Structure formats: C-alpha cells, structure tokens
Structure 1
Amino acid sequence: MNIVSFNQIIELNHLLQKKELQCKVHIRDACGAQSFYIEQLVDNDRIGINNDINEDINKDIYNTIDEYFQSNKMIVVYRNDKHNFTIQ
C-alpha cells in the first residue's frame, strides 16, 4: 500500500496553484486507508469538477493530479463522482 505524505499533498497543491487550476486536494487519513478529495476554489459558474462547460479545465486538473502521482510511482483511482479518489 502506498502512503501519501502531507508534504506531497502540499507539493501537489502548489503545482495546481502554479498552473492556475482553481482547486485544492485534501487528504482524509483513516484507519487502514487514505482517501482524497478535490475542492473547487471558485463558484460553479466559472469552473467546476464534472461541469461539461469546463471540460478542458477538468482534463487539466485530472492530468496534473495523475501525472504528479505517476511521477511518484502511484496510480490514482477516481470514484464515480470524480471529486474523490484513492491511491494504489
């Protein structure tokens, strides 16, 4: 099982901010597993996870998250809502 450190989440959030992707990743650390969720930082009219109008922005968010964890030899597994994910 892969463990994601708080420093890695901070680093990922800096990367998202640098790319001006208006979101932030949060960690939930429970007994036996970690899970993560994506928080929008602006209102739904401008950007939103799973909002069809912002499909390119969503792709950039997911690609950035995926690439970050792949560079750390981890795989992102998104839940159906695409707001929540785990790491393998």
Structure 2
Amino acid sequence: MDEISFNDIIEINGILEDKSLNFKVHLRDGCGGSGQTLWIEPLGNCACEGHYEEMYQVLEEFWGAKGKVIKYWDNKMQFALERKKNGTV
C-alpha cells in the first residue's frame, strides 16, 4: 500500500473548497500495519445536503488520477485506497 501524504490531503481539500463542496477529508494512520484510512467530514448538514454524489465524484477522479480506487465503508464516510491493477482493481 502506498502512503497517502499530507500534501494529498491538502490538495483534495483545496479542490473541494474551490468547488464550494462543504466537506473535508481527514487522514487516519493505522497502527501495527493496519494501514491508512480516510474519513469525510461534512461541514454542516444544510450546506452538504444534495452534494454528496458530486463530492464522491471529485474524490474518485482525484484519487483515480493517482492510480488509486476508493473502497468505501461506514455509509461512505470512511474509505481506504487501493492501487489500480492493469486499469482495474
């Protein structure tokens, strides 16, 4: 598993802000080899309502350009990244 950098987190949060999507992505570093995971923070219920699909699309395009696919869990508010293999997971 490739490491997710703080610069990646800063970049994706900047893209979300530029697109007026009121979400923030946070990095959680696992201990004992459990790997890194990410979680999505909605920045206010009303401000995010109706924008979840657009936010997911931005995340998937951003990580996809880096050769990764997102594996969501917990109501799509937490996720991990996997490397694409030959154009697929």
TM-score of the aligned structures, taking structure 1 as reference length: 0.84
Number of residue pairs aligned between Structure 1 and Structure 2: 80
Query: Using the alignment, how far apart are the partners of 2:28 and 2:74 within structure 1?
Result: 18
Query: Using the alignment, how far apart are the partners of 1:46 and 1:4 within structure 2?
Result: 27
Deviations 1:19-57 (A, max 9, x none): 000000000011220000000112x23424xxxxx2xx1
Cα deviation for residue 81 of structure 1 reads 1.0
1:71 to 55, 62, 65: 65
Match of residue 47 from structure 1: 48
CA RMSD of aligned residues (A): 1.1
- Runs of 4+ in structure 1 deviating by more than 6 angstroms, as ranges, are none
The alignment status of 1:13 with 2:13, answered yes or no, reads yes
SS in structure 2 at match of 1:25? strand
5+ unaligned residues in a row in structure 1: which ranges?
A: 49-53
Higher relative contact order (CA 8 A, sep 6+): 1
